[in-house]
Amino acid sequence: MAKVEGATLVSRSLQREGVKHIYSVPGGPIGEILASGTHYGVRPIGMRHEQACVFASIGEAYVGNTVGVSTLAGGPGVTNGVTGAHVAWDNSIPIVILGGSYPLKGHLTGTFQETDNLPMYANITKLSIKVETASRIPEYMALAFRKARSGRPGPVYVDLPSDVLSAGVEEDEVKWPTIMPTPRAGGDPALVKQAAALLMKAERPMMIVGKGVRWSEPVAELKKLVESLGMPFLPSPMGRGFIPDDHPLNMSAARSAIMRNCDVAIVVGARLNWTFDFGRSFRPDAKIIHIDIEPEEIGTNRAIEVGIVGDAKVVLQQLLAEMEGKTRGMAERAAEGPWLSALREETKKNAVVVDTVMNSDATPIHTHRILKEIRDVFPRDTIYSVDGQTTLAAGRQVLQTFTPAARLNSAQSGCMGVGVPFAIGAKLARPNVPVVSLNGDAAFGFNGMEVGTAANYKLPMVFIVNNNSGIVGSAFQSRMQVAPGFNDYISTYDPSFRYDMIGAAFGAHTEHVTQPNDIRPALLRAYDASRHGRVAFVHIVSDPKDTGTMRGAMGAGGRASALLGY
């Protein structure tokens, strides 16, 4: 009977799970996984750094509604992936990290790259396991994928020793587990009935849409719920697009007012953590309905009226069924009522503040002007991966998203360096959709060399660097008490740095912009180049004193998250 190697069993397992891409920096002992994977339809994407490998798998997972996969070489390769695992853990993104490791027979001998990888990943993954027998690889791989996507999604780490990967197994000894679909559980009918009654009686209802809805995709249900009640909503940064941003009931521009004044709030797939001011921005007597797949999340940081554990799509279907025939005329009354009227006025007032800087002709260029030009050039289905601090803060106020899972940023963990690799994963997930990677200059520095990955694999996308000379320009510098005699700028960079030259080195179409009226023509040329199959790179020099925040347009409800653009 023929024998099959452990590495081949890994590749066949990936094929059975429907994996299309695996992100890696080639090295020992995972090279054979990459090679054998090509025989099973799994395309290896070679990147420049293992951190970026994991980030790219996150981007593909979120945009493609799949489980992202990276495989990391032993020793430093595995340790370089830890930050990516943390970002996936903090943001509940289903990924599987396959880490190469030293041979089992070399344990405690000081063999090459002998590192105990499991403890490093144990506290930032749903599961951290070592495969010790090649014949059990299919079993462990099936467990890893099931764990990653079930319940609240998250990362899983699988440690693969070199002698396990090279071991031969008799074909008839290999047992292949059945791949089971992820179950979708509904909520307690009594609680659903209670939630429906609260919403229908509310005078000032609202809904928060979090990125957690991505995995059940309740697009029709979310829209029907807000429209049947005439209920305004507020999306989280990555929860944007499940209801289009230009929907008349989207009150993102009145974030403070809507949270401060609502009497009933339904929170779907979002956590009441720092992103939403721990729920403190709600009135003390506001009644909260919380829908989440994770039981432990219900009631965290804020007392709630109704907590429903279940899949967002199924629970919303239950809720709509409970309200069927009982909401006639409610949307029409709400449209002319004081609640929506007050929020619309707040939105208009805040828009005046933002419009001033969006249309500014000042030089150096204001970040809001850059974002406005980007918004007006690229089509509705564009996927934006936004990275940085100033850029991210302005992007929250200016850029719009109209389709599900088309907005990526550092999200819960606030990790810089995600923008470029997230965008690469997004482009591979949706190759026919425009993808824009928008980065501050500091954020770009973390994984900017991955522009070469996009060029190498001929991924036609647009990279933009907003060069404001460092980390929020001089904002950090002004708060730092540097000792006399030290003139080093800790958080600021030389404004003459030409990041577009990096794009040129990889053969990208490049643009360098210093004047506001030149932004749009440069973006149009870049977009046209991407539509003709080229990587494009736009470098825009902006005001180093611009923090990207518009305090008049945020108010108390936005203070906790303003600086990072949440």
DSSP string, 178-190: P-PPPP-PPPPHH
As a dihedral over the C-alpha atoms of residue 451, residue 453, residue 459, residue 464, rounded to 10 degrees, the angle is -10
Angle between helices 367-377 and 519-531 (to 10 degrees): 40
Class of domain 3-173: alpha beta
Q: How far apart are CA 470 and CA 287, in angstroms?
A: 43
Residues 6+ apart with CB under 8 A from 515: 363, 365
Q: How far apart are CA 397 and CA 355, in angstroms?
A: 10
Q: How far from each other are the two terminal CA atoms of the chain, in whole angstroms?
A: 58
- Domain 359-561, CATH 3.40.50.970 — does that match? yes
Two domains, one topology: 3-173 and 359-561:
yes
* Per-domain boundaries in the chain: 3-173, 189-345, 359-561
Is residue 294 packed enough to be buried (19+ CB in 10 Å), middle (13-18) or exposed (0-12)? middle
Main-chain dihedrals φ then ψ at residue 374, nearest 5 degrees: -60, -45
> What superfamily does domain 189-345 belong to in CATH?
TPP-binding domain (3.40.50.1220)
The residues pairing with 292 across neighbouring beta strands, listed in sequence order, are: 309
Adjacency order of strands within the sheet including 306-309: 233-235, 205-209, 264-268, 287-292, 306-309
DSSP string, 280-318: TTS-TT-EEEEEES-GGGTTSSS--SEEEES-HHHHHHH
Count other Cβ atoms within 10 Å, centred on residue 274.
Answer: 14
Count other Cβ atoms within 10 Å, centred on residue 487.
Answer: 6
Ordered per-residue pLDDT tens for the chain, 566 residues: 689 999 999 999 999 999 999 999 999 899 999 999 999 999 999 999 999 999 999 999 999 999 999 999 999 999 999 999 999 999 999 999 999 998 878 677 777 677 889 999 999 999 999 999 999 999 999 999 999 999 999 999 999 999 999 999 999 889 999 988 888 999 999 999 999 999 999 999 999 999 999 999 999 999 999 999 999 999 999 999 999 999 999 999 999 999 999 999 999 999 999 889 999 999 999 999 999 999 999 999 999 999 999 999 999 999 999 999 999 999 999 999 999 999 999 999 988 889 989 999 999 999 999 999 999 999 999 999 999 989 999 999 999 999 999 999 987 788 999 999 999 999 999 999 999 999 999 999 999 999 999 999 999 999 999 999 988 644 455 555 666 766 566 777 888 999 999 999 999 999 999 999 999 999 999 999 999 999 999 999 999 888 777 643 344 334 334 333 33
As given in the structure block, the two tokens for residue 260 are 């401060």
Residues 6+ apart with CB under 8 A from 145: 17, 67, 96, 156, 179
What is the reported pTM?
0.94
